[in-house]
Amino acid sequence: MNKIRQEITPFQKEIILYYQTSKVILISSQSLKTIKDSSKQLYVVSKQWFRQWQYYVEYIQGIAPNEKREKPGALNCDLCSKENFLLKYPRDNSFNQQIIKLQSEDFILVNKLMIDVWGTEYGVGMTIPRNVYFNQQGVPSLNVNLLRQSVYINVLNPQRGVLQVDQDCIIKQWIQLLCLAIKNEFQVNVEQIRLWKHKHFQADYAIKQLEKHQGHFNGEILNENLTIGSYNADLIIIDIQIDGKWQYDQLDIKISCSEDFRHIYQKASKGCGKFICDRNYCKSNPIFSQIEFDRKTLQYYLIEQFKQDYLDWTTVCWNQINELKPIQQLQDNDNIVVALTELSIFPNSFGASFILNFNNCYDVINYKNSNPELNLSAIQLVNDVLDAKTLKLWMENLVSNYKQSIYFVRAIIIIMHFKCFNNLLYQEGNRIIEVFLILSKEDKDLLSNYLKILPDEYFIRYTSTIIEIMGNYLKQQSKKHIPLLKKTEIQFVKQMLELLQVFYNSNKTLKLLNLTRFQISEIATLYPKYGNQLEYIQFDSYSIQNLERYYFTFCQYPWVIPLEFKSEILAIDSKMNQKSQFQNSFMFYQPFLQLMIDRNDVVTSALVSLSRKDINLKAQLQIVFQGEQGIDQGGLAREFFSLLTQKLFDINFGMFVPKNNNSILWFNKNNMEMPFKYELIGMILGLALYNQVCLDLQFPEVIFKKLMNEPTCLEDLKELDLEVYKGLNALAQYEQDNIEDVFALNFTITETIRDDIINVELLPNGTEIMVTQQNKHEYIRLCTNYYLNLQIETTFNSFKQGFWRVVEGNGIKLFSGSELQQLIVGQKNLNLKELEDSTEYDGFDYNSEYIKQFWTFLRTLNEEQQKRFLFFCTGSDRIPVGGLKSLKFLIQKHGEDSEQLPSAHTCFNVLLLPQYDSIDKMIMKLQIALQNCEGFGLM
């Protein structure tokens, strides 16, 4: 029989060709990596266009073959820039291409074959060829942007503007292009061109000197054999030779030195006019001005700097703008808005305004001071006369003149104290938000500290507004075929999340809002289909820096992702790890983690199974109970975890002790068991997490915080030992100076260890050091650290080691300690209505009287009995993250009236319920089954 050859669709041809060409680029980069300065001409393709193409040909993002697909527009049409350049190069030179500035995550690289195919199929908005260099690892350099070089030229009249050029272009080649461009543009006979840069002066000063001395200035001619980028010049002066005469020449050295000295002396003696200058040799620089030179000493100092050629001209101040002084006290309310509007173009001066009790000293504001010292009464006076339109203008001015400094951070907190700031958050083009993508971490941390003085009302309102705006924006995006397609859309999301993160970090100290208030539920519904998979793909691409696949992931901000959605990402990550282990298993490991368990000695058999050297803890778990039949599809694993934790956490077993009125279990510091038993418990927690099984644990939250390497604090002690917490907290709150008399404490802790009372010194010679008002916080810190960390250090480290032996991957990094607790232990409250609403039926009508009475009976049970029913049906009485609605529970009809009891397929969460001839009989049989549900087996 002849085989029928399946015809390849045009879509598949494109996909195959793309992967073939990508492979060729990879192979060629690997072969080029041993060659010095190796390069290959490739073409830049916009990531936005590439995603549209993928969506069109590969059915990505959940689209089905029969659904409508939008064809991508012309190639790279979204990269066009509207910048104006001084000259146009001849013959459609590639330097003419006006593309927006790109980051490495904004594009991919392909070869000419792919460009030709795409150009034929979709049209060409712009082709962007680039010579791409490969390093010794075969990784391409990703700087595809042309240099925007500032130039000065005088043909018919002097002009200053910008030209595009490749920074790796040899100056000689650029000169040839400039000759042709000037001839075409101005119709002049250019004989030669040479390029200059000023030796010292910045652009504005260089042009002033050039014009003042009729074409003479203190410059140097650029070496034609070097590249343009090697000079890093803020201004290049184009010198044209016409009729044998050059336009410019070197200024007399005596004149140039005199002007150089005059400039630096003026800055050093008078200042530059800025409120604060960060440049050297300037009196406006607080550090330089503290030296307090007199006139003669300053002259002598600068002359010596000149003689010895010690001056670093790159650090000299060139500012020419006289900055307005900060405003501290308000006298005329009518003119204050006008005054602040003028001041807003000077971020440093604006940010140094409104200082409380100002005494002509700005030293109160520094990076070590978390209090911005705001004059709130003065701010309130401005609040009374300020409108949103004016505040928006102030923000635009501040951002337009942005320069990183402590005063700009202070300007932001001032802006936030004006009540109409909240209204501006709703408006498009709120420019203050743009800054949060470029603020340094240090500045963001400082702003988080500043937020502590923001009125609680404002703090809560701004936080709610940002989350509301983000939620509405993501709803709009979810209606699009490709959400977050454009760079501007991704940037907006990033800006808002960076702003929200500042509030989140501040709230961790303030505790004004529950941390769950920062979660944005719309993230889970951004993608119409397969949202958890698509988010995982982005998270994985971000983690391994696969920029071809990556565009954005919310996992950079895990605290904003709803816990249920985050747990789905973790489940995918676990399955991908298990799949990887399975694929590698034929060479290295067993494909499954199969444990042989003896019901009569669960702990020992688990220890033996988990201590094997060939064990693969990352593989999918399979439990086999000795002497029993059945393939583990999840139910046996849940039973195993239940039996093991009951034994290990039994206080009679001795590994844990009850604390805090028997409400929690804590590590037994006096236990003599082998450390491996604690390691086993850690492995059990890891295996349960890895296999999505909830455990019945009475651990306090601090245990999970410690597992996630989060710092512990006094509040964590409340759940462990309420009495000790109350005592330390009372000490912290006590403000009088007679602590020694009232509390009579020294730096020791009294403990009972095996009936012996001992003193533990918190510091060397702790018995001799009394707790005072000055050192009490150190005492509280040491006590807290001892109870939560040092006291159980050995056993906990074994436990932690066991946990991390099992758990790996990026998914676990998304969770805080409290969230990890919810994942492993499950939710506390059982909501039977959630289970009823989500249950599916096979053989029964959900609306029948029989089923209605079934649920009526369950509702009459107390919570403990309802958990017993849950255990009977699923093998676990824990409520998973997301609640009972996430269980996918099924009630299946199991024959007509009989004496058989209800049973369950716990692996699949299926209740097998016969159709008894009466409701009373059904209830009776259910009661018997629930009373005897321990030790059940698979059917």
State whether residue 220 is helix, strand or coil.
strand
Q: What local confidence, expressed as pLDDT, does residue 363 receive?
A: 66
On whether residue 532 sits in a domain, the answer given is: no
Residues 113 and 21 sit within 8 Å (Cβ to Cβ): yes
Give the domain range for residue 854.
832-932
Q: Do 775 and 651 reside in the same domain of the chain?
A: yes
State the Cα–Cα distance between residues 80 and 96, nearest whole angstrom: 11
Does residue 352 share a domain with residue 219? no
pLDDT score recorded for residue 653: 84
- Strand 249-250 and strand 216-217: the pairing is parallel
- Same structural domain for residues 627 and 761? yes
3-state secondary structure at position 75? strand
Whether 303 maps to a domain, the answer reads: no
Angle at 875 between CA 872 and CA 879, to 5 degrees: 95
Q: Which residues are part of the catalytic machinery?
A: 907
Of the residues 392, 425, 454, the one at which a domain ends:
454
Task: Give the Cα separation of 386 and 383 in Å (integer).
Answer: 5
The predicted model scores a pTM of 0.84
Instruction: Give the closest residue to 415 by CA, choosing from 441, 454, 444.
Output: 454
Residue 645 lies inside a defined structural domain of this protein: yes
Name the domain count of the chain. 5
Q: Are residues 788 and 875 in the same domain?
A: no
Of 427, 266, 294, 446, the residue nearest 368 (C-alpha) = 446
Domain boundary among 826, 842, 874: 826
At residue 740, what are phi and psi to the nearest 5 degrees?
-60, -40
Residue 506 counted as domain residue: no
Q: Are 87 and 182 in contact (CB under 8 A)?
A: yes
Supply the DSSP string of 641-675, one letter for each residue.
Answer: HHHHHHHHT-GGGSSEEEETTTTEEEE-TT--S-H
Query: Which residues, other chains included, contact 676 with Cβ-Cβ below 8 Å and sequence gap of 6+?
Result: 607, 611, 798
Residue 103 to residues 46, 111, 135, 433, 555, Cα–Cα distance (Å): 11, 20, 19, 20, 20
Question: Do 842 and 822 share a structural domain?
Answer: no
**pLDDT per 10-residue tile (average), the chain, 939 residues:** 58 88 75 60 93 82 61 93 91 86 90 94 90 72 86 94 93 95 90 94 93 94 95 95 93 93 93 88 87 88 87 89 85 78 93 83 68 89 92 95 89 95 90 92 94 95 97 95 92 97 95 94 90 92 88 96 92 81 57 83 86 78 79 71 85 86 85 80 89 85 94 92 91 91 91 80 92 94 95 93 89 92 82 86 89 89 84 75 78 86 82 90 88 51
629 and 775 in a single domain? The answer is yes
In this structure, are 803 and 844 located in the same domain? no
Which residue is listed with tokens 């494109």? 14
CA distance 595 to 621: 8
Residue 359's pLDDT is what?
A: 72
**In this structure, is residue 558 part of a structural domain?**
no
Report if residue 570 sits inside a domain: no
**Assigned domain for 82 exists:** yes
Say yes or no: 92 and 110 in one domain: yes
Determine the pLDDT at residue 424.
93
In a domain, 545, yes or no: no
- Are residues 204 and 88 both part of a single domain? no
Task: Specify the CATH number for the domain of residue 865.
Answer: 3.30.2410.10
Decide if 144 contacts 39 (C-beta within 8 A).
no
Q: Does residue 802 sit in the same domain as residue 837?
A: no
Residue 807 belongs to domain with CATH number: 3.90.1750.10
Q: What is residue 3's predicted lDDT score, i.e. its pLDDT?
A: 45
* The pLDDT value given to residue 936: 37
Query: By C-alpha distance, which of 473, 525, 527 is closest to 495?
Result: 473
With beta carbons less than 8 A apart as the criterion, state whether 375 and 383 touch.
no
- Compute the distance between CA of residue 801 and CA of residue 785 in angstroms, rounded to an integer: 20
Percent helix, percent strand, percent coil in the chain, to nearest 5: 50, 15, 40
pLDDT for residue 863 = 81
Same domain, 683 and 735: yes
State the helix-helix crossing angle for 333-343 and 388-400, rounded to 10 degrees: 30
Kindly state whether residues 98 and 214 are assigned to the same domain. no
